[in-house]
Amino acid sequence: MMSVIQHAWVSFVLSVAETLILYWLCSNFLHRNPRPVSQYTVGILIYFIFQWVTYWFNAPLFSMCVFYCAFTMLVSCIFFTDSLRTKVLVAYLFVVLNYACKLLSAVLVRFLHNEPLPSEPNFLIQSPLAQMTACVLFFFFTLLFILCRNMRKSNKDNLYNAISFLVPSVILFITIQIFHMRNSVSHFYLEISGILFCSSMFLFYLVDDYAIINEESQKNMIADKLLTMQSSYYQKVEDSQREITSLRHDLKKHLHSLVVFLKAGQYVDALTYIEQIYESANGMKVPLTGGNSMVNILVNNAQQQAASCSVPLTANIMVPPELPVENVDLCIILGNLLDNALEACCRMGKGADRFIHTEIRCQKAFLIISISNSYNGQLRMEGNRYESIKIGEQYCGIGLSNVSTVIHKYNGDMKISHNNDVFTVSVMLPLVRR
């Protein structure tokens, strides 16, 4: 028998391990909402206390299933922004995998020590060795799921498919082999354990498939937005070309009028006439042309939005027509950064010194995107992460997170700097992908 101190220590270690695994699983399969870190920490701490109480009082394994589901569902619903369907699947994946590992570890440990298994699951109170084994198995399978998902994101489809089929097959094979070595009670536990593991794999596939569907849905939304901006851009190019053609057509008449004023000695009238021509020409909004068309479309769209808010936006762009970045990804990076810059300027009010400066260039083997904007000096940071200070938005703070995800996809880098007046984001993407 363990002493009280040993039992408390084992309960503490197991509770910490299981809580960290929940945090790890949710962080990899779900997206955090902008709740303060303090609230997030309190939620994790409450879950840890729940786990510690169940271990300390040796709560029956299966009688706590409802509480496991309830706590994991609460954590996923309160602190993450994904759809309810995805949250439910991730919560059930955690619970089912947890019980599968506990059952399998209990059977293995009792099998190795030649101990009889209880006839009812409620009496399956695990030994410290079985509990530790369960945590190791839990960690291993969680790591396996995360690695599988990263393989899929890295387009390693063959390896992903191989592991997806091999793991359930190996689990079933081991279950069947041990099934023939023990009595009928162990048959029951092994069958249940095998079913739970296979259910965990099935839930993982569902979660991953929903993630793929969400990614494709976001890409479609961005593609629709790009089509709208593209149509608007080419309409502006056409309007600008028409204005230039009209100006060229009238240029001969303007020059003739100036000659008449000057010959008559009406220099003041000539100067006034020149100023009128200048104002008319200066009012023409010529869209960016040349270089990369998608960059031009995104920057022109931002200039139009900035002009409607009376925010001057300057752009220095020197890029080739072709870039090794998908249009959707370029929209996520440049679109989000320009939107954030405009929102920061709009929060300053019209009387403030507002500006946005955009620089996009190719330097050596990298695409450099640097956006500087004025802001009111107010920042919201959670740890090392910048959060949006918008109020009432469902997806606050998601913009920079999406930008970071795309930059990571291209093995790029993002740096953020700021002082009391200017906020700058610099992105560096390699032009040659490995």
Which is more confident, 375 or 289?
A: 375
* Residue 141 φ/ψ, nearest 5 degrees: -70, -35
Residue with tokens 């090392």, as numbered in its chain = 384
- In this structure, what DSSP letter does residue 123 have? G
Residue type, 339: D
Could you give the count of Cα atoms lying within 13 Å of 251 in the half-sphere of its Cβ? 8
- pTM over the 0.95 mark: no
| Structural domain boundaries in the chain | 4-221, 288-434
Q: pLDDT by residue (tens digit) across 308-327?
A: 888 899 889 888 888 888 88
| Distance in angstroms (rounded) separating the CA atoms of residues 127 and 141 | 21
Q: Of 241, 247, 310, which is closest to residue 276 (Cα–Cα)?
A: 247
From residue 373, give the alpha-carbon distance in Å to each of 236, 357, 370.
25, 6, 10
> What CATH code would you report for 288-434?
3.30.565.10
20-34, 52-66, 294-308: segment of lowest average pLDDT: 52-66
What is the Cα–Cα distance from 346 to 355, expressed in whole angstroms?
A: 10
Residue 173: what pLDDT?
A: 66
Q: What is the pLDDT of residues 167-185, one digit of tens each?
A: 666 666 665 665 555 554 4
In the numeric block, the tokens 């689990």 are attached to 171
Q: How confident is the model at residue 425 (pLDDT cuts 50, 70, 90)?
A: very high
Predicted confidence (pLDDT) at residue 227 exceeds the cutoff of 70: no
